[in-house]
Structure 1
């Protein structure tokens, strides 16, 4: 990582990471588009109710992958092979445990989860089908996230990107094949999504099964210290994904009361676009993580500050460009997901696109700052930022704003929560910046 300038390193890692994260987010966006075209408004509403479970699964995978890979990078920079193998082995143990947990939930509780998420009689069966199959594929999602993080941090960000893009392309192609020529409906959509991470794991196999890798499975008993370190460092990544799930669940509940299934379908368009848009910031944050952790392990504080500045500058430019596109093209974007030409859905979605995404700068700042703290082993401030934006602020603000301004309040609650979190996050940075490596 030190053979080129810090800026070139940042561009290389961030570009590949952004492309990879966009590809992962497109798993669900592809489902959204093809379900909207092939099944209609009810299918879109059912999918939107099920997506928070995907966020929990993907968030768990990122928690384990980012937590383990962060410590792995620090140990690698210190040439500690034994410690690197130990953290990888314990990450795999955690992956098996959570995979079994999600699979059991899919087999025994998919219908109950659908009901809890708000599925009514019209969409309950579609929601349950999607959830059950999705949760049965949880080992593929979780281990794909784990291996992606370790391969990227093992100096191979390009292969990680190729694997995720290939998986996403597989999902797009087979979404179309399963839903249209095969007529499999919601089952086809979730099968295409479920097999996508399998493709990614196969493409990365030359690295994670190769002899040149720095991480290996060892015959070790689970180590409490390693597991605790993994979960602590990775927890902000889980919360970042859970925040999306929490927002969707809360918004679905509120919008069902205000606008019914049509409103939920309109929000589905915005929520799924949000997964893609926020993946830019997640990609930047995951791109700087191995670089910051490597510099941290080598006690190179100047490089740490440089990477953070590059990340924030890139975030500002991207935010301006993305919001301009969404504002100008809100009408055609909403129309692309409105196969039934539902006028109410179109109106709600266009307004939502222009209001909801005023949050971009604040959300990007929070995501990058949280990962920065994680990368230098400052888990506590990272967890505070993640808790604020994912649990503590968004729920009361959403209910309050919806009560005051109905749908306009719903759309503005997300920017408000991200703004307050950003102010607090900036305060945390000021507090920690004069401490060693903060």
Structure 2
């Protein structure tokens, strides 16, 4: 991609160019996740949903690795391109792909050796353990392709090919839905069928994305002498917050599982499974809005065009918060209908999920704002600050909320923990965001003054 497009074209137009295919891909991927829950609910009932919820952190682990490497690579590539360091861009890409493949292989071997202890650590009881193991095996065996696919999605999108990423996501998601129907409903393979469908679809998506390397318009390539310690540390630092957010999401699911089973009946765990899968859809869409602005912010930051960086941040916030408001409005109007998609035929589960959805998603606008701020800090290579806020937001405040709120509000306190954490995080992060913008403006004024001082015209005075 010609970097001048990112440095000169109107921000709103560029953002939409990245946003539309990104969100279409995210929505399609989210639909397949909902379909997965629907088919598991229809084919295996509440026990299947409970087992799925316990197994969910494995997806968190894979996506955390993929986001760590992918976002770190894409951010470092974009900043390097903005600064005119094209060779560094290729080195970062090569290191990222080697790291992703290696991490996937290590994860597969580790999980295969310790699958049962891992499942029990996630919260699997003796009654649910067989179902959890059945679901996890196909996912783990093909996890390397899932991780590489995550990395390629982010990197290829940043390399100005969001349409290809959208195509891979749409095709794999539709394939997953078709295979879910065949394996779970028609052939009655149960949880194994749902898991196998997901694993196969990930392989198809990975293969589709790998084809980008043979496109003439690609602007990334492998290089032999790729190792550069400084670039590697930048890549790891730039992606750490995304990985931490995903990891904390998995930890939160485990903590919620324990908290719910400690104060309520197992059916509340099935209700939480419905809520988490709807939340996965919502957060996926919000991440799509945030990821779409990353290459724009990073490239302009590398070129020190801070006014364009701030304009990009403002547009991303406007779009994302607006969508979050609309989304929560839909939830307020139709909570029963949304919960009923996954709790069909079970009135008790339906009522519990409907009530939980209303409370849980009161955090949606706060989550949207915090997500944009986190990606903004990553995009300008403020990885440590972004990681700090992510730990506070995604783990520490959730833990504090689970320790305090349920003792006051019972199960409602569990549903409100995310709102509690997101609200406090926003209050903490706003002064830092404001300070960063002021520093950028000060640097811009200093550079303008410097340019004026060295461009004084010759007046012919001896």
Per the normalisation by structure 1, the TM-score is 0.96
* CA distance in structure 1 between the aligned counterparts of 2:377 and 2:226, rounded to whole angstroms: 30
Report what 1:328 is aligned to. Answer: 333
Name 2:238's counterpart in structure 1: 233
C-alpha deviation, 1:362, in angstroms? 0.9
Distance across 1 between alignment mates of 2:403 and 2:347:
26
CA distance in 1, matches of 2:434, 2:226: 41
Which residue matches 2:183? Answer: 178
Tell whether the 8 Å contact from 1:398 to 1:414 is kept in structure 2 after alignment.
no
Which residue does 1:246 correspond to in 2?
251
Aligned counterpart, 1:57:
62
- Please say if residues 266 and 345 of structure 1, whose CA atoms lie closer than 8 Å, have aligned partners that are also in contact: yes
Indicate yes or no: 2:123 matched with 1:128: no
Name which of 371, 376, 382 aligns with 2:375: 371
Displacement of 1:26: 4.1
> In structure 2, what is the Cα distance between the partners aligned to 1:30 and 1:62?
24
Please say if 1:260 is aligned against 2:283: no
Alignment match, 1:281: 286
User: What residue in structure 1 maps to residue 410 of structure 2?
Assistant: 406
2:457 aligned partner: none
Candidates 351, 355, 365, aligned match of 1:351: 355
Any unmatched runs of 5+ in structure 2? 444-462
**TM-fit CA distance, 1:416:** 0.5
Could you say what the CA RMSD is over the residues aligned between the two structures, in angstroms?
1.7
CA distance in 2 between counterparts of 1:361 and 1:250 reads: 23
Which of the pair has more CA radius of gyration? 2
Instruction: Using the TM superposition, give the Cα deviation of residue 228 of structure 1 relative to its aligned residue in structure 2, in angstroms.
Output: 1.6
1:9 and 2:17 aligned: no
Tell me by how many angstroms 1:178 deviates: 0.8
Structure 1 residue 220, shift from structure 2 partner: 3.0
Deviation at 1:27, TM superposition (A): 4.5
Partner in structure 2 of residue 296 of structure 1: 301
Partner residue of 1:392 out of 392, 396, 409: 396
How far did residue 76 of structure 1 move? 2.4
1:27–1:193 Cα contact (<8 Å) kept: no
Partner of 1:67: 72
Please give the TM-score of this superposition, normalised by the length of structure 2: 0.91
Could you report, residue by residue, the CA deviation over 1:144-171 in whole angstroms, capped at 9, with x for unpaired residues? 1111112111111111112112111111
What is the CA deviation profile of residues 332-376 of structure 1, one whole-angstrom value per residue up to 9, with x for unaligned ones? 22222124x333312210111101000011111111101001111
Deviation of the 1:221 alpha carbon: 6.0
Instruction: Quote the offset at 1:209 in angstroms.
Output: 2.6
Contact kept, 8 Å, 1:84 with 1:214, in 2: the verdict is no
1:260-317 CA-partner distances (Å, limit 9, x unpaired): 3211110000000001011121011100000111111222111111111111111221
Confirm or deny that 1:29 pairs with 2:34: yes
